[in-house]
Structure 1
Amino acid sequence: MKKIAIAAAFSVAATGAFAGSMEEPMMEAPVIVEEVEESSTSNGIIVPLILVALVAAAVAAD
């Protein structure tokens, strides 16, 4: 019984030694997120054009 207990203890201790390998670990590539800028310049000009049109319509109505 004593030999079985010693064999079990050695087998449990030895499993940790075989858990890994000597090869390089796999490293995942970093995720790169690019911010895409709108190439259209009309985004910042629409509201001022509408305001100019409203002012011109108000002046023409007088």
Structure 2
Amino acid sequence: MKKIALAAALSVAATGAFAGGMAEPMMEPTVVVEESSNASGGFVIPLLLLAVIAAVAITD
């Protein structure tokens, strides 16, 4: 009978040691990749240059 009581006491003590041992899961942040196009940036500069040349040609 003492062995059964000792086994029960040890099993209760062992399960109490693991209580609260679970940690919060770590969620990795999502990576958002934004694709940029150089078409809009490459189109504006020649258009402005053409406008400046046209303004100079009109004023002469």
Instruction: Tell me, yes or no, whether TM beats 0.5.
Output: no
TM-score, length of structure 1 as denominator length: 0.42
Using the size of structure 2 for normalisation, the TM-score is: 0.43
